[in-house]
Amino acid sequence: MTVSLAGPLLLVGAGKMGGALLEGWLRQGLDPASVFIQDPAPPPEVADLAARHGIAASAAPDLPGDLDGDWDVDLSDFTEFQLCFGGSNNPPAPTCPPGVDADCDSDGDVDLADFLIFQQNFTGSL
């Protein structure tokens, strides 16, 4: 049996089970070029498997509104967003925590346009 896909395969949070499945699929002929792993801290065996097969890996998705870097847009992100809200054509509020970029549309302010993007990406806690 040969494994083939019509498009790319994205493994999100590729823990030991995901790694075991991937290893089996690769043995069955899955093209490593069609695989992408997204995991902030993959187990060593998954990281080694990806490296051996030249599989691309990333630590975190680019998710506008995920201000705390935990792969979701939830109430903890909203807390940071509201601390940064400064309104149209104003810099982020002075209460904005250091290192937090709540300017979701990259126009230099944190306003309702940014909140719309935040709201569209709101997932709740995952």
- Under a CB-based contact definition with an 8 Å cutoff, are residues 45 and 19 in contact? yes
Alpha-carbon distance of 81 to 95, in angstroms, equals 10
Alpha-carbon distance of 80 to 13, in angstroms, equals 25
Which pLDDT band holds residue 59 (cuts at 50, 70, 90)?
Answer: low
Query: Looking up tokens 């290192």, which residue turns up?
Result: 99
Domains of the chain: which residue ranges?
9-58, 75-120
Q: How far is CA 16 from CA 30, 42, 77, 82, 83, in A?
A: 18, 8, 29, 37, 38
How many other CB atoms are there within 10 angstroms of residue 43's CB atom? 14
Least confident of 2-6, 12-16, 29-33, 116-120: 2-6
For residue 27, pLDDT over 90 is answered with yes
Query: Looking up tokens 């823990």, which residue turns up?
Result: 15
- Under a CB-based contact definition with an 8 Å cutoff, are residues 60 and 38 in contact? yes
Alpha-carbon distance of 110 to 119, in angstroms, equals 13
**pLDDT one-digit tens code per residue, 78-90:** 999 999 999 999 9
- The pTM of this model reads 0.58
- Under a CB-based contact definition with an 8 Å cutoff, are residues 82 and 96 in contact? no
What pLDDT does 14 receive? 72
Which pLDDT band holds residue 42 (cuts at 50, 70, 90)?
Answer: confident
Which pLDDT band holds residue 126 (cuts at 50, 70, 90)?
Answer: low
